[in-house]
């Protein structure tokens, strides 16, 4: 790596093109953590002594989030981890083994839950019925809805004040672009370092400390800090995700025009107060007649999906 660290003058270990900034290992770690702390502070992601439950999948983002949340808040706030096993052999089981090992090493209590225990099927079962020729919906769409259901349900049972997720800047920029292209103002308005536009009883607020951290820098931080995480192949069902196309578009723009993703987040930050005014009139949340979770109708999306899947799987 050519050049010197902008902080100490030593040989740089990493170069960030949008600055451009160059750092040695020590000062990059400091730079990254400082930005996370600033995101938490400026967006008031954590309050008082509320319990923080970190959703940890075993990947780089969630393990880095768990590491930093524990480092920053372990002396002031209860910190626990929530692990969701979707039932994908040689992928999620290996990742969660690392997540459990990290929790034990760092002294963090954790709860592990699974799709099989909660719903009676795994994502492998779902994949068999949602492939390209079995059109009852996208595999990733089913997984996302069902995973969010379990995260909120168990975080609430764990009495979490906040559910902390590992969404990074790339994830958020992709979500902004996707919702713009789909003209979905409601979903767009719910994005941000704190998900949602208002507090709703029964929904645990989700916060994203890595909101301003590019994915490439999360990888570097995890490596330099020695944070164990699953480094194998991504989810074998990921190829179906519409998000892949938006990821490719943004990666191309970022490579050509460094700082593009930062600009998208800044645009969104300025637009969010205006988007919050767009909530539908007479909008009301009810308790799902099947599971009791909140929904805008009588039966929630997750329960409708379970019924649809069980009809196909059984």
Report the pLDDT value the prediction gives residue 27, as an integer from 0 to 100.
97
Give the total number of structural domains in the chain. Answer: 2
Residue 103 known to bind ligand: no
Characterize the bridge pairing of strands 21-23 and 14-16.
antiparallel
What CATH number does residue 65 fall under?
Answer: 3.40.50.620
Residue 175 known to bind ligand: no
- What would the two tokens of residue 176 be? 């902004």
Instruction: Evaluate if residue 37 carries a pLDDT over 90.
Output: yes
Provide the pLDDT confidence category of residue 314 given band limits of 50, 70 and 90.
very low
Q: Which domain holds residue 159?
A: 43-279
> 79 with 3, same domain?
no
> 21 with 131, same domain?
no
Residue 70: φ, ψ to 5°:
-65, -40
- What would the two tokens of residue 180 be? 């713009």
Report the pLDDT value the prediction gives residue 132, as an integer from 0 to 100.
60
Characterize the bridge pairing of strands 286-287 and 294-295.
antiparallel
Residue 213 known to bind ligand: no
Residue 55 known to bind ligand: yes
**What's the CA angle centered on 264, arms 13 and 186, to 5 degrees?**
135
Residue 307 known to bind ligand: no
Instruction: Evaluate if residue 281 carries a pLDDT over 90.
Output: no
Residue 125 known to bind ligand: no
> 3 with 48, same domain?
no
Residue 5 known to bind ligand: yes
Residue 235 known to bind ligand: no
> Among 95, 98, 59, which Cα is nearest to 210's?
59
What confidence tens digit (pLDDT) does each residue in 233-245 have?
Answer: 777 777 777 888 9
306 in a domain, yes or no? Answer: no
Residue 234 known to bind ligand: no
291 in a domain, yes or no? Answer: no
End-to-end CA distance of the chain: 56
> 138 with 57, same domain?
yes
Residue 200: φ, ψ to 5°:
-130, 125
- What would the two tokens of residue 10 be? 């030593």
What confidence tens digit (pLDDT) does each residue in 217-230 have?
Answer: 999 999 999 999 99
Residue 181 known to bind ligand: no
> 234 with 180, same domain?
yes
Residue 303 known to bind ligand: yes
């Amino acid at each position: 790596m050519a050049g010197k660290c902008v902080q100490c003058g030593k040989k740089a270990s990493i170069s960030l093109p949008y600055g451009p900034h160059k750092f040695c290992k020590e000062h990059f770690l400091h730079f990254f953590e400082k930005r996370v702390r600033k995101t938490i502070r400026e967006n008031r992601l954590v309050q008082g002594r509320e319990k923080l439950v970190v959703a940890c999948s075993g990947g780089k983002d969630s393990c880095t989030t768990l590491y930093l949340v524990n480092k920053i808040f372990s002396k002031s706030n209860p910190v626990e981890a929530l692990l969701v096993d979707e039932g994908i052999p040689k992928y999620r089981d290996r990742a969660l083994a690392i997540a459990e090992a990290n929790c034990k090493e760092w002294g963090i209590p954790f709860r592990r839950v699974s799709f099989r225990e909660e719903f009676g099927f795994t994502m492998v079962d779902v994949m068999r019925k949602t492939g390209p020729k079995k059109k009852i919906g996208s595999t990733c769409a089913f997984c996302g809805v069902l995973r969010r259901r379990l995260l909120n349900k168990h975080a609430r049972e764990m009495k979490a004040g906040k559910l902390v997720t590992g969404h990074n800047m790339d994830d958020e920029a992709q979500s902004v672009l996707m919702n713009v292209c789909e003209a979905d103002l409601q979903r767009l308005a719910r994005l941000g370092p704190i998900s949602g536009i208002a507090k709703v009883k029964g929904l645990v607020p989700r916060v994203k400390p890595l909101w301003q951290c590019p994915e490439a820098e999360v990888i570097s931080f995890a490596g330099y800090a020695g944070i164990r995480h699953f480094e194998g192949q991504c989810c074998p069902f990921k190829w179906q995700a519409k998000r892949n196309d938006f990821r490719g578009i943004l990666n191309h723009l970022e490579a050509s025009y460094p700082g593009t993703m930062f600009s998208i987040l800044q645009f969104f930050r300025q637009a969010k107060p205006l988007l919050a005014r767009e909530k539908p009139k007479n909008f009301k949340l009810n308790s799902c007649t099947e599971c009791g979770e909140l929904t805008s109708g009588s039966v929630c999306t997750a329960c409708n999906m379970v019924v649809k899947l069980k009809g196909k799987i059984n």
